[in-house]
Amino acid sequence: MNTDKFEYKCFIDYLEQLCSSRKTGIVYMTCDQNHSARMVLAAGKIIVISYANKKGNDAIAAMSKIQQISYRFDSSNVSVNVDDSLPPTSVIIRNIAPIGYTKETDTFATNVDNASTMSVPSDIAKSRINNLLLDLVGPMGNFLYADYVENAVSKEEIINHLSKELSTVEMEAVYNILN
- Per residue in 16-66, pLDDT (tens digit) is 999 988 899 999 999 888 899 999 998 899 999 999 999 999 999 888 888
Q: Residues 164, 89: one domain? A: no
How many domains in the chain? 2
**For residues 94-121, average pLDDT:** 58
Three-state SS for 60?
Answer: helix
Answer yes or no: is 40 within a domain. Answer: yes
For residues 84 and 159, give the distance between their C-alpha atoms in angstroms, rounded to a whole number.
Answer: 12
Answer yes or no: is 1 within a domain. Answer: no
Q: Which residues contact 161 (CB under 8 A, 6 or more apart)?
A: 147, 148, 149, 152
- Say if CB 98 and CB 52 are below 8 A apart: no
Q: At which of 64, 84, 114 does a domain end?
A: 114
Q: Residues 26, 76: one domain? A: yes
Q: Residues 21, 107: one domain? A: yes
- Say if CB 51 and CB 35 are below 8 A apart: yes
- Based on DSSP, count helices (H) and strands (E) in the chain, helices before strands: 8, 6
For residues 102 and 119, give the distance between their C-alpha atoms in angstroms, rounded to a whole number.
Answer: 28
For residues 28 and 117, give the distance between their C-alpha atoms in angstroms, rounded to a whole number.
Answer: 27
Q: What is the pLDDT of residue 78?
A: 73
Q: Which residues contact 3 (CB under 8 A, 6 or more apart)?
A: 70
Please, which pLDDT band fits residue 102 given cuts at 50, 70 and 90? low
Which residues form the domain of 134? Answer: 123-178
Q: What is the DSSP letter of 55?
A: E
Q: Tell me the whole-structure pTM to 2 decimals.
A: 0.57
Please, which pLDDT band fits residue 114 given cuts at 50, 70 and 90? very low
Q: Residues 85, 173: one domain? A: no
Three-state SS for 69?
Answer: strand
Residues in the chain: 179
Closest CA to 60 of 95, 9, 10: 95
Pairing status of strand 54-55 against strand 45-51: antiparallel
For residues 38 and 19, give the distance between their C-alpha atoms in angstroms, rounded to a whole number.
Answer: 15
Answer yes or no: is 127 within a domain. Answer: yes
Q: Where does the chain show beta strands of DSSP type E?
A: 6-7, 25-31, 36-42, 45-51, 54-55, 68-74
